[in-house]
């Protein structure tokens, strides 16, 4: 944008054409976005007038109090869980079989649902996420808005064979990725339980993968299985039943529970899963058991099954027929698994956490570092934020680009160390958000993707020494702020404009938190508040208001302007200076300096200003955001013994200022002096050239 003159009133203008936004499609966003400057025509000017307008504050100022939900005994005014906080629980016992001939998973489960709410429940909702792969699903029909990369591969979804309780059939109705089960007798409130049994099967889509799938590799096939079992929907104090469908972009909101899972796979396979393996002696050779024992004690990576052993039958237990792997996991929000005859397997120890990787030969040599990358990431998050709460963590290489599950992550990157570390540190970061702090990802993707991208910003420096991650620099983000067709961060993932998930939920949230930490609150205040947010809400489910209130309460600041400006609206920042006025006080000989500073757009931020004096000495001035309380024009005045030569605002480029051409100002008289000095220099140069040797 062009610079504007203060005398003209700094008329602001806003872009109104559509060119599309950065594209990211899932948790792999972090890995792909660096080079993902794919812009796409959104249909030209026509689309501008059709674009849904978002008006967040028709009457309030950016500093007005936010219209947050009224605090109550479940969620307090301080942003903490209240004395009556409750949440539901769902425990699962699952037995599943992977048929590698047909590519089908057949399974049975017993679900024990505990109703801790104060309400009797006459019906319950379950999630059938495999139904997204049906041709008639909302995800398929709205593609590509739903960003579900399904190509032409569709299945029958989750085929329910039976749904019973105590042996009697239950009445149920399937609506897209959800089903309502009607009950004869309501589930009692305050701790009543309901147990039911489901038998189902599904085919793994052949060409499509979305957070799971299968891939043929040189030495076999890799199966990554997730969103695969009928799971209880969430009933909570804010929405009652959470029945937003699974459309593709919005990930998950689930209950905590214990999982007892037995999975039967071909004998040639090695498995990885959420949970702790209960029967290692049944599924590993003695050599492997010895190496596992060694790995559990070792800071360095110990290879448990080498690349050369993958095709060697001696690397699997002797015998015929498939093997059943038995896993248990406590207090996790879902369960995923991977299985393959092509897996190399290694592991190491981190303070009692068994850190592991499984990957095919194609993934070497980069994946030989995966376990240490995982270890470094977990260690960093432990030290900075909150201790990893689970006994194991596994990184899996396969078809999915990047997706997180409790204790288990899928990372697709094979080719570059940078890509692999980026995806690994991101996906395992999700074990803090949302695996530990359990948020509603369908509505508030920023509370997991954005918070996670923020912690990734600092974890990058731990592998690539001294380098901070991308998606944290506000100066670098300014260009992104002016993209048209933006939606506020608070928008539900599936309701965002096309290809803007990565831009808003990941990048903008992360950049905002870095700004808040580095420029607004300072690391000490920010970290105390952010740690308290995690501590308060670990194994519970916070809402945006709980986050805002916790940050304000612990940091001790009114941040309504920040939440509104950064999270609820899409306005820009343009701070400007035009001139430096200075007059000499005849009595003292001092200079009285006045610099008018302008806020030209609707977003506000603190101001940093670098003053350069005539003797080349400099001074840094920091002004709080409160200078903008009464007006978008602020006069900074001070007395100085020296004349000012120049002022520059945001000299370190740490704010997302969309127009930096109006960030520097000189005293008016300086222009004359500067021209005079320039002429003198030019003359001198000419004279010097005239006296070159040789003449």
Binding site for Zn ion (CB under 5 A): 27, 449
Report helix, strand or coil for 306.
coil
Give the nearest distance from C-beta 497 to Zn ion in angstroms: 19
Give the nearest distance from C-beta 429 to Zn ion in angstroms: 8
1: nearest Cα among 610, 576, 671: 576
Give the nearest distance from C-beta 377 to Zn ion in angstroms: 13
Beta-bridge partners for 136: none
Q: Measured from the CB atom, is 129 or 341 closer to Zn ion?
A: 129
Give the nearest distance from C-beta 28 to Zn ion in angstroms: 8
Q: Measured from the CB atom, is 341 or 449 closer to Zn ion?
A: 449
Give the nearest distance from C-beta 493 to Zn ion in angstroms: 11
Backbone angles phi, psi at 513, to 5 degrees: -70, -35
Give the nearest distance from C-beta 430 to Zn ion in angstroms: 6
Tell me, rounded to whole angstroms, the distance of Cα 59 from its chain centroid.
32
Residue nearest to Zn ion (CB): 27
Q: Is the peptide bond before 434 cis (omega within 30 degrees of 0)?
A: yes
Q: Tokens 């689930």 appear where?
A: 254
Q: Measured from the CB atom, is 441 or 546 closer to Zn ion?
A: 441
Strand ordering across the sheet containing 337-340: 213-217, 220-225, 337-340, 270-273
The residues near 656 (Cβ < 8 Å, ≥ 6 apart) are 474, 475, 477, 478, 481, 511, 515, 572, 573
Neighbours of 379 (CB within 10 A): 17
Give the nearest distance from C-beta 445 to Zn ion in angstroms: 9
Beta-bridge partners for 178: 127, 175
Cα–Cα distance measured from residue 246 to residue 231, given in angstroms and rounded to the nearest whole number? 13
Give the nearest distance from C-beta 274 to Zn ion in angstroms: 17
Cα–Cα distance measured from residue 683 to residue 695, given in angstroms and rounded to the nearest whole number? 19
Q: Measured from the CB atom, is 27 or 107 closer to Zn ion?
A: 27
Q: Measured from the CB atom, is 453 or 582 closer to Zn ion?
A: 453
Give the nearest distance from C-beta 452 to Zn ion in angstroms: 6
451: nearest Cα among 390, 407, 496, 516: 516
Ordered DSSP codes for 226-290: -S-S-EEPPEETTTEE------SSS-----BEEEEEEEEE-TT-EEEESSEES-HHHHS-HHHHH
Q: Measured from the CB atom, is 89 or 442 closer to Zn ion?
A: 442
Q: Measured from the CB atom, is 27 or 435 closer to Zn ion?
A: 27
Give the torsion through C-alpha atoms of 267, 272, 276, 280, to 10 deg: 30
Give the nearest distance from C-beta 433 to Zn ion in angstroms: 9
Q: Measured from the CB atom, is 27 or 90 closer to Zn ion?
A: 27
Regarding beta strands 392-397 and 408-411, do their DSSP bridges make them parallel or antiparallel, or are they unpaired? parallel
Tell me, rounded to whole angstroms, the distance of Cα 329 from its chain centroid.
24
Q: Measured from the CB atom, is 126 or 445 closer to Zn ion?
A: 445
Q: Measured from the CB atom, is 27 or 261 closer to Zn ion?
A: 27
Q: Do residues 381 and 388 lie in contact, with contact meaning Cβ atoms separated by under 8 Å?
A: yes
Q: Measured from the CB atom, is 27 or 521 closer to Zn ion?
A: 27
Regarding beta strands 89-99 and 257-265, do their DSSP bridges make them parallel or antiparallel, or are they unpaired? parallel
Give the nearest distance from C-beta 426 to Zn ion in angstroms: 6
């Amino acid at each position: 944008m062009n610079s504007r003159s203060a005398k003209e009133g700094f008329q602001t203008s806003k872009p109104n054409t559509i060119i599309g936004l950065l594209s990211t499609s899932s948790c792999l966003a972090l890995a792909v976005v660096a080079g993902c400057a794919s812009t796409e025509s959104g249909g030209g000017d026509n689309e501008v007038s059709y674009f849904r307008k978002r008006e967040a504050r028709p009457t309030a100022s950016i500093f007005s109090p936010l219209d947050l939900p009224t605090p109550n005994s479940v969620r307090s005014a301080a942003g903490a869980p209240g004395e009556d906080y409750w949440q539901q629980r769902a425990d699962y016992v699952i037995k599943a079989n992977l048929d590698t001939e047909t590519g089908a998973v057949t399974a049975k489960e017993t679900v024990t649902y505990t109703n801790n709410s104060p309400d009797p429940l006459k019906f319950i909702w379950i999630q059938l996420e495999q139904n997204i792969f049906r041709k008639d699903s909302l995800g398929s029909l709205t593609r590509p808005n739903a960003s579900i990369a399904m190509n032409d591969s569709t299945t029958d979804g989750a085929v329910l064979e039976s749904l019973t309780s105590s042996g009697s059939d239950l009445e149920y109705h399937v609506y897209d990725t959800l089903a309502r089960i009607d009950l004869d007798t309501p589930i009692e409130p305050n701790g009543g339980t309901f147990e039911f049994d489901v038998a189902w099967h599904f085919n793994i889509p052949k060409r499509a993968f979305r957070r799971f799938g299968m891939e043929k590799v040189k030495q076999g096939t890799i199966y990554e299985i997730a969103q695969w079992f009928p799971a209880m929907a969430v009933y909570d104090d804010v929405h009652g039943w959470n029945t937003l469908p699974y459309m593709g972009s919005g990930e998950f909101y689930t209950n905590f529970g214990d999982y007892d899972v037995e999975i039967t796979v071909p004998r040639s396979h090695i498995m990885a899963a959420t949970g702790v393996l209960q029967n290692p002696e049944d599924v590993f050779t003695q050599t492997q058991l010895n190496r596992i024992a060694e790995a559990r004690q070792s800071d360095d990576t110990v290879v448990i099954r080498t690349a050369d052993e993958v095709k060697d039958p001696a690397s699997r237990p002797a015998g015929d027929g498939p093997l059943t792997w038995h896993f248990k996991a406590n207090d996790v929000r879902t369960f995923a698994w991977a299985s393959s005859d092509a897996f190399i397997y290694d592991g190491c120890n981190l303070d009692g956490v068994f850190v592991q990787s499984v990957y095919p030969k194609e993934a070497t040599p980069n994946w030989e570092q995966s376990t240490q990358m995982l270890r470094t990431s977990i260690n960093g998050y432990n030290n900075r934020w909150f201790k990893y709460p689970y006994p194991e963590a596994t990184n899996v290489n396969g078809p999915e680009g990047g997706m997180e599950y409790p204790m288990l992550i899928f990372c697709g990157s094979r080719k570059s160390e940078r890509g692999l570390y980026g995806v690994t540190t991101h996906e395992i970061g999700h074990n803090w958000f949302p695996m530990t702090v359990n948020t509603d990802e369908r509505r508030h993707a920023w509370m997991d993707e954005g918070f996670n991208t923020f912690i990734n910003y600092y974890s990058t420096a731990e592998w690539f020494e001294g380098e901070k991650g991308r998606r944290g620099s506000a100066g670098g983000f300014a260009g992104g702020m002016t993209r048209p067709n933006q939606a506020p961060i608070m928008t539900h993932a599936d309701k965002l404009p096309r290809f803007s998930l990565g831009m808003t939920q990941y990048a903008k949230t992360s950049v905002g938190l870095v700004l808040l930490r580095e420029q607004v609150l300072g690391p000490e205040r920010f970290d105390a508040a952010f740690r308290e947010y995690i501590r308060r809400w670990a194994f519970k489910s916070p809402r945006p208001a709980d986050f805002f209130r916790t940050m304000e309460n612990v940091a001790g600041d009114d941040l309504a302007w920040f939440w509104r400006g950064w999270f609820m609206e899409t306005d820009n920042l343009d701070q400007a200076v035009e001139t430096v006025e200075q007059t000499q006080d005849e009595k003292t000989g001092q200079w009285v300096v006045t610099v008018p500073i302008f806020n030209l757009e609707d977003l506000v931020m603190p101001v940093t200003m670098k003053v350069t004096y005539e003797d080349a000495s400099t001074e840094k001035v920091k002004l709080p955001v409160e200078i903008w309380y009464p007006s978008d024009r602020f006069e900074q005045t001070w007395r100085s013994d020296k004349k000012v030569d120049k002022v520059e605002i945001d000299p370190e480029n740490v704010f997302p200022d969309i127009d930096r051409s109006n960030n520097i100002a000189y005293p008016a008289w300086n222009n004359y002096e500067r021209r005079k000095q320039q002429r003198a220099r030019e003359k001198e140069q000419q004279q010097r050239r005239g006296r070159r040797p040789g003449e």
